[in-house]
Amino acid sequence: MPNDQTPNLAVQIFALTRRFGAITAVDSVTLSIGQGEIFGFIGPNGAGKSTLIKMLTTLLPPTSGSATVAGFDIVARPAEVRRHIGYVPQLLSADGSLTGHENLLLSARLYGVPRGEQAERIRRALTRMGLAEAAHQLVGHYSGGMIRRLEIAQSLVHRPAVLFLDEPTVGLDPAAREAVWQHVLDLSRAFKRTMVVTSHHMDEIDQFCDRIALIDRGRIAAVGTPADLKAQVGPDATLDDVFIRLVAAQETVSEKGYGEARRARRAAREHG
Amino acid sequence: MAKQGEPAAQPASTVDRAAGSALGDYLTQIFAVATAEVQKLRHDPLELATRAVQPVLWLMLFGEVMARVRGVAPGNIPYLDFLAAGILAQSALFVAIFYGISAIWERDLGVLQRYLVSPAARSALVLGKAMSAGVRALSQALIVYILALLLGVGIDLAPLNILGVAAIIVLGSALFSTLSLIIACIVKTRERFMGIGQVLTMPIFFASNAIYPLSLMPAWLRTVSHVNPLTYEVDALRGLMLANGASDYGYPLDFAVLIAATAVLTAIAARTYRRMGY
């Protein structure tokens, strides 16, 4: 295994911070994610989840702080990080004007999958994700759930150590959501891959994640297993209760929170 | 799920180390991006047909009228021949200069993030896009060739000349599409981009030898034209494409200018392109 310094940590984050102008989108986050964990980030829109993921996937340089992913520093060795991670962005990332097969071929080539193995890996990925029959149709004709599954396949064709999924079930119907999670679980069990997932569907996070971090206004409000966090709030509490308790509690401290977060998000987009 | 006899548990990171040489990887990455673009064209060939209209109009309307004005084209070349090479360069330029809008489109969709999060060198991504602009331009060149032959332009159909024209077209398209990509990375919205694209196209086109020789220009404009890469693209095309054509500056200089400009722009674009992920 390449990351012998931290054999059990897939992701190590230390005081990671990102500012957009005067707005701090991610504020000194420190956190570790173990290998093979399914780790969930939850939090209100604009809380900084996506900004955090973008830094961990090397798309966005941090303002300060540091992190290693799969044993590689995100600032010093971004190319190595990219080589060892998969990323399913929140936005549509499969190309609608290509077929599913062509999308996978593009990924395989960009990630340097040996030419002799490309065909077999693509075939397997398509089968695993239930897309074998649609392989040669344009992705523009796929359903939302099929596109998500293709994107997951694209992110796995190089067998990454850590897979980042940013809101993988956004905009999907319940059946498609369930299917996406089932695939994530299968992959996690079969290959012991680390999964880092953001979502604002509390029930999904509760059901599928080993541990979760609640992010609010760029800071980690709580970390733990879903059961632990719920127990802190009350005997019959749901994650929704945890969320409401923690986020609302801070809202009284600073009423500007939401507006700030929203501005941060807009600023993030405009600066981008 | 389909359990296709995969090993039950692979080590967490069985990522493919560079199988071949670094250069091999680099070329594969360029090829991957360019191929994807060509596949898109194959799925939607109508896009190319719609682009054929402009060169037809230039040659048949502008060309036929200007051909009546004596003394525009230098020496023994009919004006329509002179213009044909310019319009070839122009049609490639117009494809390339608006090429950056596809990067904005891809960024808005999210497709671009997939490129940026891959380990591919940023410059390989840029060059892959540039090559695909070249492929688009080649299809334009085919149309201009057919049209020029129909209009009786004296075209040199020697294979080596055609190959030379293709090389110049691909280079010129790579150059201007990369310039376009840099602008796209800076302005980031389609609206702003369209404005700047329009503003750029005119001076690049008119401050060049595309539709009239530099000798007709006032001195200051001639100076501008001399630093315009399009001038060297047109110069090489005139020599290679036309039966009676000749290059004023010599092919080595033409190629050198185009290659150097493309290299510089690619280096800049590789830096700006990564900011599209923010």
Closest CA to A219 of A59, A73, A15, A40: A15
Q: How far is B167 from chain A (nearest CA, A)?
A: 25
pLDDT tens digit sequence for B96-130: 998 999 999 999 888 899 999 999 999 999 999 99
User: Is the Cβ pair B119, A110 closer than 8 Å?
Assistant: yes
Domain count for chain B: 1
Average pLDDT, stretch B80-96?
92
Backbone phi, then psi, for A17, in 5-degree steps? -140, 140
Read off the pLDDT band of B6 (50, 70, 90).
very low
Q: Tell me the chain B residues in contact with residue A109 when contact means C-beta distances shorter than 8 Å.
A: 28-29, 31-32, 35
Percentage of the residues of chain B whose pLDDT score is greater than 70: 93
Give the list of residues 6+ apart from residue A175 with CB closer than 8 angstroms, or none.
Answer: A145
Query: Hey, where are the domains in chain A?
Result: 9-82+164-271
Q: How far is A236 from chain B (nearest CA, A)?
A: 34
User: Is the Cβ pair B36, A91 closer than 8 Å?
Assistant: no
Nearest to B13 among A1, A58, A106 (CB): A1
User: Is the Cβ pair A84, B13 closer than 8 Å?
Assistant: yes
Q: How far is A260 from chain B (nearest CA, A)?
A: 19
Rank B71-80, B99-108, B156-165 by mean pLDDT and report only the highest: B156-165
Closest CA to B137 of B165, B156, B179, B103: B165
User: Is the Cβ pair B278, A58 closer than 8 Å?
Assistant: no
Cβ-contact A167, A199 below 8 angstroms: yes
CA dihedral A58, B127, A153, A125 (to 10 degrees): -140
In B, minimum Cα distance to A152 occurs at B114
Q: How far is B247 from chain A (nearest CA, A)?
A: 40
User: Is the Cβ pair B109, A193 closer than 8 Å?
Assistant: no
Residue B256 lies in a domain: yes
User: Is the Cβ pair B6, A190 closer than 8 Å?
Assistant: yes
Q: What SS3 class is residue A88? A: strand
Q: How many Cβ atoms from other residues are within 10 Å of residue B201's Cβ?
A: 16
Mutation target to probe the A interface, by most A beta carbons within 10 A, among B28, B44, B117, B188 is B117
pLDDT tens digit sequence for B234-266: 999 999 999 988 899 999 999 999 999 999 999
Q: Tell me the chain A residues in contact with residue B8 when contact means C-beta distances shorter than 8 Å.
A: 190
Give the pTM: 0.85
CATH class label, A9-82+164-271: alpha beta
Cβ-contact B180, B197 below 8 angstroms: yes
Q: Tell me if ipTM is over 0.90.
A: no
Residue A43 in contact with partner chain B when CB distance is under 8 A = no
Cβ-contact B175, B267 below 8 angstroms: no
Residue B98 lies in a domain: yes
Residue B185 lies in a domain: yes
Identify the domain containing residue B169 by its residue range: 43-277
Residue B35 lies in a domain: no
How many CB pairs (< 8 A) connect A and B?
A: 145
Residue B102 lies in a domain: yes
Read off the pLDDT band of B177 (50, 70, 90).
very high
